[in-house]
Structure 1
Amino acid sequence: MPTIRLKALIVDDEKAIRRFLRSTLVAEDFEVVEAETIAEARAAGEKLKPDLVVLDLGLPDGDGTELIASFIAMSKPAILVLSALDEEARKVQALNLGADDFITKPFGVAEFMARVRVALRHRVQMQGAPAIYDDGRLYVDLGKRIVRVGGEDPKLTPREYGLLHQLVLHAGKVLTHRQLLQSAWPDDASADVQALRVHVRHLRQKVEINPDAPVLVSTEPGVGYRFTPPS
């Protein structure tokens, strides 16, 4: 039976970056198309219907974040944003618009492919999100709202459960502060980032082996949080 190749669109105006990304993805058996501008990327996206988009934010004819909504409407691809060290606000904006993850330049092959795999897993999961998460220690049934840690009820508050539900549902994806506030507690307009930090700390105390060195619920400084299942 023939193998179905995943399709990737690289959007970056730096030729060296495109060459590096292309060679990396081709080695992983992706079909790859490149674009240098927003206009080229839109045209390529319509034709290719990519499974993965690697998107630089700084493009010669505009801000790369302009493309995120249109890509999602086209084919719901996994979207990995490329950013510079000083682009924290733009990373947050991209994630809030629907990007799956970001990677900060410079980066190596191993980190890049790890981020790609996480983003692709998240997209597959969201197409048919599993109702149950179980790593042998933490058990979460999203349908029945059951949580067990080592077989015991951790006595989560409604806010803590709301956070855990969203983090597990989007496992591997960075969720921004705004995304968590809006999705975990949609009816609480008074909740803010400081309150979020407090509840994340309490959640870690109940689900992490060592809350002072969290493994499951990690912090993306200045951006938000990520749930990372044990490998």
Structure 2
Amino acid sequence: MTFSICVHESYETPDGESHERFGVAVTTRLPGVGTLCPFVSENAAVATQSLVNVNLGRRGVEYVDDGLAVEDALEALISADDGAPQRQLHGVDADGTFTFSGEECVEWFGDREGDHYTVAGNMLTGESVLEATAEAYEATAVHGTTDPVTGPNAAHSDDDDEPDPLAKRLIDALAAGHHEGGDKREELAVQSAAVVVESTESHDMTPPYNDLRVDASETPIADLRETYDLAMQGYEETLVKYEEAYEEDSLAGTE
């Protein structure tokens, strides 16, 4: 199932509130990867790939939500999985990371752990795919800093010094890996990509750009980026158009 990245970021909004967010981005030369690989909650981000077992991702996130460390949760699931030699599983929680690549995954395969992120891939043109993905994310990572582009009415910033939303940065990381060669199966024309982000921050309107999929395309990453741009535009326009309604709703029930 090609390559993916899982990340955790902690940040502080301008009003002084501390938050956590988690995200997964993935792409492959098969349709519908968004239904199989990425699993995210307010506590963890997990990706399951190679010979996919969706229960590893689903239960991994559930275990972390129940209080297990991501290392313990995913290690336990892999240890109990008869198909482990053909699996790839990786993820992050607020305190740690975990990566696993079974010895029977198809070359080139591998994984990498970084500061609050993991990357993994199989059937790639080479290790440089993961290196490029990781480096692209590292260059824009947000952790333990004030994030001025978050918040219900601050979806976007034109200031080059301010970070883009995590979903956009994850798509850019996929693009960097794809530019290095990505999935080596060039005979497969139908491809897909997905990005999912969850955070502890509340919004007047849930940002649609945090959960996007391109299920069948010959240019999935470019299409995912275009979909992101349109979703961001629609979100900003909706906030402006219905700002008064959101304010009235937020005051409902107060005295």
Fold match (TM-score > 0.5): no
TM-score, normalization by structure 1: 0.27
Higher relative contact order (CA 8 A, sep 6+): 2
More helix by share: 1
TM-score, normalization by structure 2: 0.25
More strand by share: 2
